Amino acid sequence: MPAREPVGPAVATAPAQPDPAAPRLAPLETRHFELAPQQALVGETQVLFARHENTFSAIGRQYNLGYEEMRRANPGVDQWLPGEGTPIYLPTQTILPETPRTGIVINVPAMRLFYFTTEKPAAAGGPEVLKVATHPVGIGTEGWATPFGEAKVVEKARDPTWYVPASVRKEHAERGDPLPRIVPPGPDNPLGKFAMTLTLPGYLIHGTNKPAGVGMRSSHGCIRLYPEDIEALFGRVARGTAVRLVNQPVLAAWHDGQLYLEVHPPLAEETHDLVAEADAALSRALERAGAGAAAVVIDRAAIEKIVT
Please say whether the beta carbons of 185 and 163 come within 8 A: no
Cα–Cα dist 279/141, whole Å: 29
- Which 8-state DSSP code applies to residue 138? B
Q: Which helix (H) or strand (E) holds 167?
A: helix 166-174
DSSP helix/strand/coil, 90: strand
Catalytic residue among 135, 220, 222, 264: 222
Catalytic residue among 206, 255, 264, 272: 206
Q: Is 135 a catalytic residue?
A: no
Cα–Cα dist 15/19, whole Å: 8
Give me the count of residues in the chain.
308
Please say whether the beta carbons of 152 and 243 come within 8 A: yes
Among 219, 217, 189, 195, which residue's Cα sits nearest to residue 207?
195
Q: Is 32 a catalytic residue?
A: no
DSSP helix/strand/coil, 193: coil
Tell me the catalytic residues: 206, 222
